[in-house]
Amino acid sequence: MNALHWHAPDTPLRASVIRASALGFGVVIGLALAARPWLQLGPSYPAKVAAGKKKTDEVLCPMCHLGEFAGQNEIPRVAGQHYQYVKKQLADFKARRRTNDAGNMTSVASTLSDEDIENLAQYATSLY
């Protein structure tokens, strides 16, 4: 019997986990998490994601960051970024702690409420 026994269909992930089980439990967990398209990078609340999407259209985020925050040229991709990172960057632009954007993000962020920032961070995190 394998060192790791579970009742699951034969899949490449299961085979990798069983092969790696001899290397130690930490490696097994690491491999399992590496194949995690279902794992969010932060909390996700559908109503906040929807409100964030609506806010992107109101403040014209896609004009620079393109649809679904894909980014372009010197405008960064925000889709799939960590929730806390997005939230902090928006708050820093709003508070003028971050100003390396020629004023574009500072201007937009100054119009955002704390709730808007929360919703935008939720939306960006939900994208891949």
Q: Quick: pLDDT tens for 7-48.
A: 445 556 666 656 655 555 555 566 555 555 444 445 568 999
Q: Where are the domains of the chain?
A: 1-39, 46-126
CATH tag, 46-126: 1.10.760.10
In angstroms, rounded to a whole number, what is the distance separating the alpha carbons of residues 117 and 108?
11
Residue 5 amino acid letter: H
Give the span between the Cα atoms of 48 and 53, in whole angstroms: 9
pTM of the full structure:
0.66
Residues 45-67 have a mean pLDDT of: 93
Q: Which residue carries 């269909």 as its tokens?
A: 9
